[in-house]
Structure 1
Amino acid sequence: MYFCAMTKGLKSTNYKFEGQTKKYTGKVRDVYEFENQLVMVASDRISAFDVVLPEPIPYKGQVLNQIAARFLEATADIVPNWVEAVPDPNVTIGKRCEPFQVEMVIRGYLAGHAAREYKAGKRQLCGVALPEGLKENDKLPEPIITPTTKAHEGHDEDISREEILAQGVVEESLYVQLENYTKKLFQRGTEMAADRGLILVDTKYEFGMYDGKIILIDEIHTPDSSRYFYQDTYQELQDKNEPQRQLSKEFVRQWLISEGFQGKDGQTVPDMSEEKINSISERYIELFEKITGDTFDRVPTKDIEARIQSNIEKSIKLQ
């Protein structure tokens, strides 16, 4: 109904802009560096278990970019962020910051990676003690911060607060600020999700330094960086020990696990049928509409590369 032969995913870009100093290709974004700015193109690539899957997901980049822009604007009173312009549905332009080499993961519920670790018998996650008697998707007594190292390639690794400070990854005074910002952002995200009938289960934030100040960077509260449950059925499903209805990338991970893939050596990524690609795309669009309350505008994808290039060039000239 929404998809036709003209619909395609944006797999990659390869532009050369005036003043560009470097291009970095991440798992799902193409980042063009300038002297004091970054141009971040949200592609339709999708990763799981730190592996980029072979097929792009139509509209995924637009969904992530537009949700992130909305939440960054809505949290600017808590911590300044890197955004200067959003000249295209798939593009954000902003300050070029020096990133901290940790990702600040915060969890309000025992879900995803935390649940898998708990099920394996671990009662500490990133140095944080977990109580006995929890089951998957239970609410934690209070939100916990479980940082990971920031890997450019391969897997991010769990790391404790103590290890971060002992190894000098982040100095203590700055890390305390990162923790404080993380808790406040999660609280704001929780409130905004509740207004839309959702539970913000867990999420991650990335920060950098710019002009001597801590700046919130990257995307926030998107289905790639966050997990959401539906509020209205949460307790009933927990009482019945049934899986939660959720809006996140976890459904992609679960599909891969069911196909025998968890990103481990020797495993092969399963084939992605057109039906599977379209169903993943619809799930991303569902989250956009659910969390924003707006109808998603499926911007035509026929000339997406040319459209993005033109909008970036116009924006650069204006700045």
Structure 2
Amino acid sequence: PAHVSLRAAGRPPPREPAQSSPPRPLTVLHTRSPRLSMSTSSRPRATPLAAAGGSGAAPSLLAADPGHRDSVILAARGAMTNCLGETHLDLVVPGLRLAAKGQVRDVYESGEHLVLVTTDRQSAFDRVLASIPFKGQVLNETSLWWFNRTSHITPNAVVSSPDRNVTIAKRCSVFPVEFVVRGFVTGSTDTSLWTVYNKGVRNYCGNAIPDGMVKNQKLPANILTPTTKAADHDVPITPDEIVKSGLMSKDDFDEARSKALSLFEYGQKVALENGVILVDTKYEFGKTADGTVVLIDEVHTPDSSRYWIANSYEERFKSGLEPENVDKEFLRLWFKNNCNPYEDKVSNFFFPVWLSTLLKHVFHTEPVINPKLIMELSQKFPLRQFD
């Protein structure tokens, strides 16, 4: 339908009675109203990356232009009650079936393809905490940019992106392992490297870690710390355990591990060229019908990765201060300091904390992908018109 809305207000429409005509093809998603979303052809082009060197990278407009920051805040306030929290595309697009509802993404099936909708839901500590306006768009467009830039390292499952929150991907068999790559001893969750290191662990997921390290210190070399994709929480596992338990064959694991480490090294290079440090991240891989191991899910987003401001890291590290971050780590720290983030009910998600999450996501995206992301969106598609 021409006016299928991802941000439909209120209850979803009832399912239409079954029709005798065959389901329409997946391309129906490309006919969405331009007032509600930007088609692939009208999507703004990504801006060129800053020249190599890092220190010369253009600063975010959030930092350089107070007026732009105010525009983001104003747009965010107007969107507080209009986040993309639920999708229900299976009720309005014939041929789609809801296959999985994750903490952030809703996945629909249609033949040999998957439709992945990145919502505004904010997850941490293995659960959904709140919804953040524009967050889904930031995550989806960030991933698409990185998928394109890393195709020389590994093929990926992306087919197209008909909407700023949507990616259509090839169906594949997903490996039940998350490939977490780390460059620093840091973190605040129960499975973070600093948490386990501070408890005395010196061999983590098959990696020997030297004594005498302190929080936020750079590791001698990047390491892979895989986890299983458990239903309620991630469980660290060694490479040998992955193969012995049958989660992956040795050949598939070795290939995915090599790709993960190469992706991370490349991501660190690109991030540093743009003034930030890629601290750690997680990758997911799958296997297509022809046996190709491909990158799936998301790449180097502020949800799946930890980023620090590069030019202040050394000074803050030497002073024993936490690095300036542009990811959701501050959100983890806020909940860690104010409640039991794994169990307590989130009754009040204070606006300053919520807004800071949005600003950090935009700050992360602007220097690399689209310097006027939110300004452009709010001008072309006023939030009050989203339905």
* 1:31 and 2:107 matched: yes
Between the aligned partners of 2:299 and 2:385, the Cα distance in structure 1 is 28
One-letter code of the match for 2:365?
F
* 1:126 and 2:201 matched: no
Between the aligned partners of 1:57 and 1:146, the Cα distance in structure 2 is 29
Q: 1:200 to 1:120 in 2, by over 3 A?
A: same
* 1:140 and 2:206 matched: no
Q: TM-score, normalised by structure 1?
A: 0.90
1:3 alignment partner in structure 2: 74
Gaps of 5+ in 1: 307-319
Instruction: Give the CA deviation at 1:277.
Output: 1.9
One-letter code of the match for 1:3?
L
Larger radius of gyration: 2
Equivalent residue for 2:165, pick from 90, 96, 101 = 90
Secondary structure, in 3 states, of the residue corresponding to 1:290?
Answer: coil
Quick one: percent identity of the two aligned structures? 38
1:199 alignment partner in structure 2: 277
2:242 alignment partner in structure 1: 164
Instruction: Give the CA deviation at 1:303.
Output: 5.5
Gaps of 5+ in 2: 1-69
**Map of 1:180-199 to 2, 5 A cutoff?**
180-199=258-277
Instruction: Give the CA deviation at 1:279.
Output: 2.2
Between the aligned partners of 2:284 and 2:274, the Cα distance in structure 1 is 24
Between the aligned partners of 1:78 and 1:188, the Cα distance in structure 2 is 9
Instruction: Give the CA deviation at 1:76.
Output: 0.7
Between the aligned partners of 1:75 and 1:204, the Cα distance in structure 2 is 15
Q: 1:270 to 1:256 in 2, by over 3 A?
A: farther
Q: 1:177 to 1:81 in 2, by over 3 A?
A: same
One-letter code of the match for 2:257?
E
Between the aligned partners of 2:317 and 2:98, the Cα distance in structure 1 is 49
Instruction: Give the CA deviation at 1:22.
Output: 3.4
* 1:51 and 2:127 matched: yes
1:175 alignment partner in structure 2: 253
Q: TM-score, normalised by structure 2?
A: 0.75
Instruction: Give the CA deviation at 1:13.
Output: 0.8
Cα shift readout 1:95-126 (whole Å, capped 9, x = no counterpart): 11110000000001111111111112221221
Cα shift readout 1:117-138 (whole Å, capped 9, x = no counterpart): 1112221221211110100111
2:182 alignment partner in structure 1: 107
Secondary structure, in 3 states, of the residue corresponding to 1:180?
Answer: helix
* 1:19 and 2:95 matched: yes
How many pairs does the alignment contain?
301
Secondary structure, in 3 states, of the residue corresponding to 1:247?
Answer: coil
Secondary structure, in 3 states, of the residue corresponding to 2:216?
Answer: coil
Equivalent residue for 1:236, pick from 290, 315, 318 = 315
Instruction: Give the CA deviation at 1:18.
Output: 2.1
Secondary structure, in 3 states, of the residue corresponding to 1:184?
Answer: helix
RMSD, aligned α-carbons: 1.6
One-letter code of the match for 1:108?
G
1:257 alignment partner in structure 2: 336
Instruction: Give the CA deviation at 1:270.
Output: 4.8
On the 8 A contact 2:178/2:284 being kept in 1, the answer is yes
Secondary structure, in 3 states, of the residue corresponding to 1:115?
Answer: helix
1:309 alignment partner in structure 2: none
